[in-house]
Structure 1
Amino acid sequence: MELGLYPFLLAWLQTLWWPFARIMALLAFAPIFGDATVPMRVRVSIALVLAVVALPAAPAPQHIDPFSLTAVVVTLEQVAIGAMLGIGLQFATTTLSIFGFLSASQTSLAMAMLNDPIHGSSSDALSLLAGIVGMLLFFAFDVHLLLAGIVASSFTAWPVGQALDHLQLQTVAYHLGWVFAAAFLLATPIIFGAMLVQLGFGFMTRISPSLNIFALGFSVVTLFGLVMLAYMLRHLPAHYRQMTQRSLDMLTQLMHTHGG
């Protein structure tokens, strides 16, 4: 009885392993789920649940020996596909973080540095604030619920045993450029406004050299940056929705292109 049960368990685990490897890589690179604050047990539990749900859409190839070098290569292929999907979902949140860094560096708010004991690094408070806003919008727009649909569609476009090609990886790399472009466009009003304020103080220094431009200008630029951020905060959800839609369109295009 035990000898007859072993092949059944081995076949079942082999069927479950391929979706689990792909989903685990997706969660490792996806926003929120891939953060260092998320415990590994929670990430593994979510990956197992999604792997069981994705079993009907992910038929396992029967010709692959689970203890062969081919199985290792197929596992690495699943990790690469999951990483590509997770990086695609990360674009919108990364854009907001870059926007926070650009805004802080132009409005003297970069002086407020915070030590992050979890990630072991220091970053400005505005970038952390933009990252938190991105996390809230990630759940507010139900992007986390799209993960199951993306996983199921990925097994239709890239069945187990079928690898990515270099053109698809190039497409994801090329789309990374619009992340920096979108962040710069978001920060352009603050950058331009801060430049006008600094030019105005430069003219005031020429007119009245006795003014302490460093003490006065620092406070005014910081206050101006806070006012501009308060004004732009209400526009961030619409921009985040557009960036998320563009990321989903990119992933959908990759799946349809590969499937076609």
Structure 2
Amino acid sequence: MELVSFLLPLLGALWWPFARIMAMMVTAPVLGEGAVPMPVKALLSVVLAFLMLPITKGGAMPDPFSLAGVVAMFEQAIIGGVIGLALQFAMAVITMLGFLASSQIGFSMAQMNDPVNGAVSDVVSSLMSLVAMLVFFAIDGHLILMTVLGQSFKAWPVGAGYGPMLLETVALNLGWVFAAAILLALPIVFSTMVVQIGFGFLNRVAPSLNLFSLGFSLVTIFGLLMLVQLVRFIPDHYVAMTNQVLEMLTQQMRMSHVR
């Protein structure tokens, strides 16, 4: 009975951070990919929930088997999921850049099975995703995730709600993902468009040439040359976009402290 009386409060204290961390693990960049098995995510969530007990304990923990406990569980899942999705924005920009580049240079015709995302994607998008993953670990992105998670328990304690402004801010900031991807892919799109316009004029001069096969090869070459020049700047852009997301989350945490 003494063991049970000791374990029950411990399990109750672990459950709330586990719900938030598990939701973040599912939606976070790299760690939330399909290549990471779900048991590994659950084990990491349990370990992190135990390590964050000094931050999470001391608050008014609701009964897990009550209606307030169920509502609090959904609140923790929403907070963790939104934090993971916000940090996923920078990764989504790089992936979208790969799709835009591959569609312009003709690589979208040759698709391959992507074991990371569990879907069909092209070669350029897979390469861009690998580059983004390397930059993620190079800038200690996994440690940044843990730092943001620890600060979230201070900004939004268990049972205190999460504030609707968090969801609204993250949703409204989704637009810059598309804008950033288009701006990064603009050199490739413009260069391939210029080549195709030139072949259009050449087709009027020499209609007998098979410009479809020749133009496809030259567009691919020009697109790859522009992609080689563009890849060098991807790490800097990824770091800048990650800093923008972190600034957005930090601002929301400060506003919750003010309230």
TM-score (norm 1): 0.95
Show CA shifts across 1:87-135 (max 9, x none).
0110111100000001111111211211236755321111111111111
1:41 is matched with 39
Cα distance in 2, alignment partners of residues 61 and 99 from structure 1: 44
2:133 is matched with 135
**1:164–1:4 CA distance, 2 compared to 1 (3 A):** same
2:79 is matched with 81
Cα distance in 2, alignment partners of residues 107 and 229 from structure 1: 10
1:102 is matched with 100
* CA-based RMSD: 1.4
1:224 is matched with 222
Cα distance in 1, alignment partners of residues 14 and 223 from structure 2: 51
- The within-5 A match list for 1:1-150 is 3-59=1-57, 61-62=59-60, 64-116=62-114, 119-150=117-148
Cα distance in 1, alignment partners of residues 101 and 220 from structure 2: 11
Q: CA deviation at 1:239?
A: 0.5
Q: CA deviation at 1:59?
A: 2.3
Show CA shifts across 1:136-189 (max 9, x none).
111011111112211110011000002223222111001111011100000001
Cα distance in 1, alignment partners of residues 5 and 245 from structure 2: 41
Cα distance in 1, alignment partners of residues 94 and 117 from structure 2: 18
Structure 1 unmatched runs, 5+? none
Show CA shifts across 1:198-253 (max 9, x none).
01111111111111110110000011111111111111111111011111111111
2:213 is matched with 215
**1:48–1:138 CA distance, 2 compared to 1 (3 A):** same
Q: Does the 8 Å CA contact 2:163/2:256 hold for their aligned counterparts?
A: no
Percentage of pairs with the same residue: 50
Cα distance in 1, alignment partners of residues 120 and 44 from structure 2: 30
Structure 2 unmatched runs, 5+? none
Question: Helix, strand or coil: the match of 1:66?
Answer: coil
Cα distance in 2, alignment partners of residues 190 and 196 from structure 1: 10
1:155 is matched with 153
Show CA shifts across 1:26-45 (max 9, x none).
11100111111101222122
Q: Does the 8 Å CA contact 1:23/1:51 hold for their aligned counterparts?
A: yes
Question: Helix, strand or coil: the match of 1:37?
Answer: coil
Q: CA deviation at 1:83?
A: 0.2
Cα distance in 2, alignment partners of residues 62 and 239 from structure 1: 42
Cα distance in 2, alignment partners of residues 60 and 176 from structure 1: 35
Aligned length: 258
Cα distance in 1, alignment partners of residues 128 and 15 from structure 2: 36
Q: CA deviation at 1:4?
A: 2.8
Does 2:231 correspond to 1:247? no
Q: CA deviation at 1:62?
A: 4.3
Which amino acid in structure 1 is aligned with residue 37 of structure 2?
Answer: P
Question: Helix, strand or coil: the match of 1:123?
Answer: strand
TM-score (norm 2): 0.95
Q: CA deviation at 1:49?
A: 1.9
**1:63–1:251 CA distance, 2 compared to 1 (3 A):** closer
- The within-5 A match list for 1:161-240 is 161-240=159-238
